[in-house]
Amino acid sequence: MKPVICGDHIAEELYSDRFLYKNLFEETPDKFISAPYILIVSVDYHQAAALLHQIRSSNIPFLYLKSVFLIDCGIAEIDYIKKGLDKTFKKNEFDENSLDFFSHYSEEINKKIKQIPGSEKPSDNNIAIKVLRYMYTRNSSLEPYKSSIHYLGYTYPVTDFFFEKLNNNLVKLISFLEDHQLISGEFVDRIFSCTQCNSAFLNFREICTECKSPNIEEQQVIHHFRCAYVGPEKDFIREDKLVCPKCKRTLKLVGNDYEKPSDIYSCNNCGNKFQEPDIITECYNCSKKNLPQHLLHPTVKSYKLEELASSVVLYGMNNLFQHDIEKNFPHIKYGSFLKTLETEIERIRRFKLFKSTLCLIKFKNLDKIYLSQGIKANLFIQELSDIIHNVLRRSDLITLYNETIFIILMTHTEIKNAQQAFTRVKENIDKLSEKNLSDKLNFIKINTVEITGVKTSKEIMDELLQNAFH
């Protein structure tokens, strides 16, 4: 497979024999997915950024994680795009060695992408997991980058290309990853930001202590020793001399005749004179006014992957859910659960005194909870578990079939009672999601099967798991 080259006409002319020339905006991505790497050649910053964005915003791991290089035709000095690329080369440095470098580098990255299950299919709609997978395949950290286009005042260029558009989700994304101990941060800087929108673009405004007008003036004050008169400097100025307005003497030597003790402010609006003006900040983005002491004062950090992240990288967000939910649900191993189920079937068959019910709960749309809730995802999962716990009794047994499917054995419970209980569960979960999420999502799917002593454990499990996967 040939690597893909894209960009402007220079790309086509110069390197077409070694590369497959493609224009990303028009082609289906198959050729890009199978190419070992992608080389962008462009003289236009916006074109190069748009191409990179098109690659990184895909949801196919083999495309968005692909090694992307840039042959700079005069744009690589733009540091920002450089940070989102694997490597940039100057056009005059580009030779056989560069080609060797591309192949070698991308081979390493591609090996790592192959470890991800389903990496050739569209699967990653979640930016959090894309960022983790990017960091994992590059073995790299996330470095903050000072930026005047991003209203936070800084950004992580790598993540920007994953987003559909620049937005506030960056704060949510980072806090989510940090809160779940998937990444850990190291201090780089501290900034002030708006309490309403997180913008770092704030106008620090000096205002009158009385009428709060910003129309104030700073004045130098002169103290004439001889007559003890104190007044603004402008009242002393007579052509090129300083003359005391009270005693009319000329002032000559500072320290000897007079001193300049401290500045005072005077308000052009109300005439008030004062030594220290009040300070108020106004956000350029949302116009919210704040006292400086009330501003947010977040730490800007660089981040590296934590150990837990590699299992999320390789097995997805559901793995994280399992981790969260295991904390909230005491459960037994699937093998032991099956043995207990067989004993239960046997007891029902022999005594014919009661019936029990097997119940399946499948959780769906978990990645949406995680991304929309950010650091609150944990709380959401906890409330979700509480709702389910409320209908369970101490004697009920729980097991995890896989990371999103729970199976519960409700002993001495007829199917209609179990179904009633879980209708309540569903209603309460709907309420929970309405309260917390903007769109109403279906989070659970429930199946119930009665244990009558007639069917075997395998037959019951098959019936229960039917339809559970879609």
**283 forms part of the interface with Zn ion (CB under 5 A):** yes
Is 229 a binder of Zn ion (CB under 5 A)?
yes
Closer to Zn ion at the Cβ: 250 or 466?
250
**Cα 276 from Cα 279, distance rounded (Å):** 9
| DSSP strands (E only) in 198-339 | 202-207, 216-219, 221-224, 230-232, 237-238, 241-243, 250-251, 258-259, 264-267, 273-274, 278-283, 289-290, 299-305
Residue 266 binds Zn ion, judged by CB under 5 A: no
Single out the residue of 246, 412, 426, 455 in contact with Zn ion (rule: CB under 5 A): 246
* Residue 270 in the binding site for Zn ion (CB under 5 A): yes
The verdict on 217 binding Zn ion (CB under 5 A) reads: no
Residue 195 lies near Zn ion (rule: CB under 5 A): no
The reply to whether 196 sits near Zn ion by the rule CB under 5 A is yes
CB 321 within 8 A of CB 429: no
Stretch that binds Zn ion, among 53-61, 113-121, 275-283, 446-454 (CB under 5 A): 275-283
Residue whose CB is less far from Zn ion, 246 or 426: 246
**What distances in angstroms separate CA 201 from CA 59, 187, 194, 258, 296, one per listed residue?**
33, 21, 8, 42, 12
Q: What is the distance between the alpha carbons of residues 142 and 186, in angstroms, rounded to a whole number? A: 10
Can you tell me which of 123, 269, 319, 373 binds Zn ion, judged by CB under 5 A?
269
**Looking at beta carbons only, is 207 or 381 nearer to Zn ion?**
207
- 380 has which bridge partners? none
How many residues interact with Zn ion (rule CB under 5 A)? 22
57 or 196: CB nearest Zn ion: 196
Told to check if 197 binds Zn ion by CB under 5 A, we report: yes
Considering only residues 54, 59, 115, 285, which one is a binding residue for Zn ion as defined by CB under 5 A? Answer: 285
- We find the least distance from the C-beta atom of residue 177 to Zn ion, in angstroms, to be 24
Q: Are 71 and 39 in contact (CB under 8 A)?
A: yes
Per CB under 5 A, the list member of 55, 73, 267, 300 interacting with Zn ion is 267
Minimum separation from the CB atom of position 185 to Zn ion (A): 23
Of 244 and 398, the one with the shorter C-beta distance to Zn ion is 244
Do 279 and 290 contact (CB within 8 A), yes or no?
A: no
- What is the Cα–Cα distance from 336 to 409, expressed in whole angstroms? 12
- Under the binding rule (CB under 5 A), the answer on residue 210 touching Zn ion is yes
Buried/exposed 350-368: b ≥16 CB within 10 Å, e otherwise: eeeeebbbbbbbbbebbbb
What residues line the site for Zn ion (CB under 5 A)? Answer: 194, 196-197, 199, 208, 210-211, 213, 224, 227, 229, 244, 246-247, 267, 269-270, 272, 283, 285-286, 288
